[in-house]
Amino acid sequence: MDTWIWIVVAVVVVALVVAAVLAWQAARRKRLQDTFGPVYEREVESASSRREAEAELEDRRKRREELDIRPLSPDAADRYARAWEGVQTQFVDDPVGATRDADRLVQEVMAERGYPMEDFDSRADLISVDHPTVVENYRSAHDAYLAYDRGDSTTEDLRQAMVHYRSLFSELLETDGRDRTTDYEEVR
């Protein structure tokens, strides 16, 4: 064969390899965006490169797949819903204590569902795989609670933290697709 034919074949092969790599990267990016929603953009903005952010998100997804996350039993969901109702009621007289108890209650539900209870950032990272739309609420609530301990936030900040904790709590409490905290709200 002539040299120019080999050159054309080589160029076609390289073009096909490049196209395959680009298609793989686009599919991976789409899957990560679909899985992580708003968390994807947050990670891309905070990382030094898109590639680094995507590698971190892929690592989270793999760590999450290794976990045995299970729904709560109906009895456990009811028990936690009643406990949440008490925490909400407590807020009127003791906003700091109620916010602390909300944080603790969210952690208890996470633990019972099978999430590892390492440090806060690890918990939030793993929660972001299953609950990407509310993980930022969890981060904000936790930050407000810690800021109050330092004297850097107000009771209104704690109230907002309670709203944020509730959004994650409600998602964590779901069993069979039904949010049990709504049942208790309607009865009140």
Q: How is the chain split into domains, by residue range?
A: 3-65, 74-187
Q: What is the pTM of this model?
A: 0.75
Task: Tell me the per-residue pLDDT of 130-186, one tens digit each, with 9 for 90 and over.
Answer: 999 899 899 999 998 888 878 888 889 999 999 999 999 999 998 544 443 443 333
Residue 64: its H or E element: helix 50-65
Residue linked to tokens 């999450």: 64
Q: What number of CA atoms fall less than 13 Å from residue 32's CA on the CB side? A: 25
Contacts of 162 (CB under 8 A, 6+ apart): 87, 88, 91, 98, 99, 102, 141
* pLDDT at position 185: 39
Task: Tell me the per-residue pLDDT of 33-77, one tens digit each, with 9 for 90 and over.
Answer: 888 888 888 888 888 998 899 998 999 999 999 999 999 999 999
Residue linked to tokens 């064969």: 1
